[in-house]
Amino acid sequence: MLRSLFRFRSLRSRLLGIVLAVGAVVGVSLPAAPEAAAASLTQITSFGTNPSNLLMYLYVPNNVKPNPPILLALHGCQGTGPYLYSSTDFGKLADQYGFIVIYPSTNPSGSCWDVSSNQALTRNGGSDPVGLMSMITYTEQHYGGNPNAVYVTGESSGGMMTDVMLADYPDVFKAGAAFMGVPYHCFYTGTVRGWNGACAGGQVIMSPQQWGDLVRNDAYPGYTGPRPRVQLWHGTADTTLNYNNLGEEVKQWTNVLGVSQTPSSSDVPVTNWNRTRYNDSSGTTQVEAYSIAGAGHQLPIQGTAMAAYAIHFMGLDGSGSTGGNTVTVTNPGNQTAASGTPINALQIHATDSASGQTLTYSATGLPPGLAISSSGLITGTPTSGGSFSTTVRATDPTGATGSTTFTWTVSGATTGSTGALRAVGAGKCLDDPNSTATLGTQQQIYSCNGQANQTWTHDSSKELTVTVGGSTLCLDANGQGTTNGTKAVIWSCNGQVNQQWNLNSNGTITGVQSGLCLDVTGAGTANGALVELWSCNGGSNQQWSLG
């Protein structure tokens, strides 16, 4: 199991999707519309039959469409609906495209979804799926939700439940996207919220026919209607829900949907994202699988394109489902530049399938110092070296969007810097106590002495590392914490976003995941004062200098 997860969750509860930076950019037609002012997450009570006393939270964007699509978004163990809302990008995408998102919570709070009992694995059998269906029906009746445009997604235990809901209610859902899930029925124990260690460990292996028969014979016996399309995601280094489960899911859903287990196509839309598609005879993708190289139990990743890829697959961005315009962005090829030297202006070009459309351009992943105009002209002077995966999008007035991705390699000084990390308010240095290599040790400030346990490096991956006892360790927001008082500790470097830090021009250091400031507790100035995360407040105990 991932060692970092042992800090805050038991074996049964390590299914909460957490955050890892994997280089996220967009490689298909994905959103670029300006975000509307965020609406509020609202709790709904008395929404109908609810045998397991689930909680319902609803997100209705301010620009909600008439007869809007509905997305059911399911958290992982130790999660809640509000947590999933705040830690993923589905709400922001709803703002852009006007669909409604249901964010349920299990009861008791933080428990896993029931994907193991006979009740849950049978249509209308009881337990969590019945309550989830009540939420969907309520949203259709009270918010005008479109019963012909209902979708489901989830992470970890929620990914498992995504597979269950698609199996139990194939007539309700048009498509689904399961992040880090397991096949329907794989987690069966016969008990409510049971734990199936063999399935979690990737040891439940069946033929495609056997997996498919479980869906056909157990979930909704006798159903012969259309089945929802399925998108599947898993990290190759997942030791919580073994990566083998991705292959078993692919077997199950390709069999259920009647397509070959041999991929129709394979590509790498983003570095380390290996995608396979399984199409029907008409060329429509029925099953799509993403194998994320090196990723652990960590998907989807907020701030990346993963949620947008899921939305695109389901058609919630209007792609492929309305016969709308198609925008194609021409890839300019990989680019080079030098830090401190102005680039030659780069014009990005795109075409629209409809004539007379004015395209508006935007970009993510540009090297620092560069910017793109609304007409697609990239200008500026790079301020730091490194390799940057850049995605440029073009959007027409109907909302149709196209994108392309390329690499920008900038030579010269990188964002990295090495030296003492000085707490301005105390005049002391960030210090690994007694040069310990014990994982989870909270960091402190101490009189600056130039020793290795006070020598920190900020690299191009935004990690802050210290080398002690022959080990290079990362500054880490303990337990993926995003609340005031989260300890700043050392931990084995793992690429997760709670180990990424922004060194800001105002002297603050903020956690990429939490947005909180690195803070000397209580504005202490004495040797041994501990360091934590806290809301940024402009205090000198949140001011740092490196080098």
Residues 375 and 491 in one domain: no
Q: Is residue 491 in some structural domain?
A: yes
3-state SS, 243-271, equals CHHHHHHHHHHHHHHCCCCCCCEEEEEEC
What's the pLDDT at 503? 84
pLDDT digits (tens, 9 = 90+) for 56-93: 999 999 989 888 999 999 999 999 999 999 999 999 99
Indicate whether 360 and 291 sit together in one domain: no
Strand ranges inside 331-439, DSSP E: 335-338, 346-347, 350-352, 360-364, 370-372, 377-380, 386-395, 401-411, 417-423, 428-431
Residues 304 and 390 in one domain: no
Average pLDDT over residues 124-149: 95
What are 234-270's pLDDT values in tens digits? 999 999 999 999 999 999 999 999 999 999 888 888 8
Sheet hosting strand 55-59, strand order edge to edge: 41-44, 55-59, 100-105, 70-74, 150-155, 173-179, 229-235, 285-292, 273-279, 265-270
Whether 400 has a pLDDT exceeding 80, the answer reads no
Which residue bears the tokens 């390590």? 14
φ, ψ at 213 (rounded to 5°): -65, -35
Q: Into how many domains does the chain fold?
A: 3
Residues 387 and 481 in one domain: no
pLDDT of 413 higher than 60: no
Q: Which pLDDT belongs to residue 502?
A: 86
CA distance 418 to 456: 6
| C-alpha span between 456 and 453 (Å, rounded) | 8
Instruction: Determine the pLDDT at residue 4.
Output: 31
CA distance 233 to 413: 36
Conformation bin of residue 310: beta by default, left when phi > 0, alpha when psi is -120 to 50: alpha
For residues 228 and 279, state if they share a domain: yes
Residue 534 maps to which CATH number? Answer: 2.80.10.50
Q: What whole-number distance in Å separates Cα of residue 542 and Cα of residue 537?
A: 8
Same-domain pairing of 403 and 429: no
Q: Are residues 351 and 485 in the same domain?
A: no
Higher pLDDT, 168 or 449: 168
State the alpha helices, DSSP H only, in 202-243.
208-214
Give yes or no: residues 203 and 339 share one domain: no
Q: Is residue 322 part of a domain?
A: no
Residue 399, pLDDT above cutoff 80: no
Reduced to 3 states (helix: H, G, I; strand: E, B; else coil), residue 453 is: helix
pLDDT at res. 322: 35
End position of a domain, from candidates 411, 439, 469: 411
Residue 102 lies in a domain: yes
Our CA angle for 183, 210, 179, nearest 5°, is 10
pLDDT (0 to 100) of residue 2: 33
**Rounded CA separation 92/533 (Å):** 25
- Are residue 42 and residue 110 in the same domain, yes or no? yes
What integer best gives the mean pLDDT of the chain?
87
φ, ψ of residue 477 in degrees (nearest 5): -80, 110
Q: Which of 314, 336, 371 is the last residue of a domain?
A: 314
Q: Which pLDDT score is estimated for 8?
A: 33
In a domain, 444, yes or no: yes
Look at residue 321 and tell me if it is in a domain.
Answer: no
- Please check whether residue 451 lies inside any domain of the structure: yes
Coil, strand, or helix at residue 517? strand
Q: What are the tens digits of pLDDT across the range 483-506? A: 999 999 999 998 888 999 988 867
Identify whether 319 is part of a domain: no
| Annotation says 291 is catalytic | no
Lowest mean pLDDT among 340-354, 384-398, 499-513: 384-398
Q: Could you tell me the pLDDT band of residue 228, with boundaries at 50, 70 and 90?
A: very high
| Better-predicted residue by pLDDT, 36 or 412 | 412
325 pLDDT tier (thresholds 50, 70, 90) = low
Encoding tokens for residue 178? Answer: 């399961």
What confidence score (pLDDT) does residue 416 get? 53
Same domain, residue pair 397 and 430: no
Whether residue 423 sits in one domain with residue 333: no
Q: List the CATH number of the domain containing 92.
A: 3.40.50.1820
**Do 153 and 71 form a contact (C-beta atoms < 8 A)?**
yes
CATH number of the domain that 352 lies in?
2.60.40.10
Q: Provide the domain limits for residue 119.
A: 3-314
- Final residue before a domain boundary, out of 381, 411, 441: 411
pLDDT for 38: 64
The one catalytic residue in 105, 111, 117, 156 is 156
pLDDT at 255: 97
Q: pLDDT for 170-198, tens place per residue?
A: 999 999 999 999 999 999 999 999 999 99
Q: Is 466 helix (H, G, I), strand (E, B) or coil?
A: strand
DSSP string of 284-331, one letter each residue: -EEEEEEEETT--S--SPTTSSHHHHHHHHHTTTSTTTS----EEEPP
Query: Of the ranges 45-59, 273-287, 494-508, 517-531, which one carries the lowest mean pLDDT score?
Result: 494-508
C-alpha span between 319 and 308 (Å, rounded):
12
Does 199 score more than 50 pLDDT?
Answer: yes
Q: Decide: 421 and 456 in contact? Cβ < 8 Å.
A: yes
Question: What is the Cα gyration radius of the chain?
Answer: 24
How far, in Å, are 182, 386, 420, 481, 540 from residue 487 at the CA level? 33, 30, 20, 8, 19
pLDDT tens-digit readout, 424-454: 888 899 999 999 989 999 999 999 888 999 9
Eight-state DSSP code of residue 496? B
Within-domain flag for 12 = yes
Q: Is the dihedral of CA 140, 82, 106, 108 positive or negative?
A: negative
Residues 185 and 228 in one domain: yes
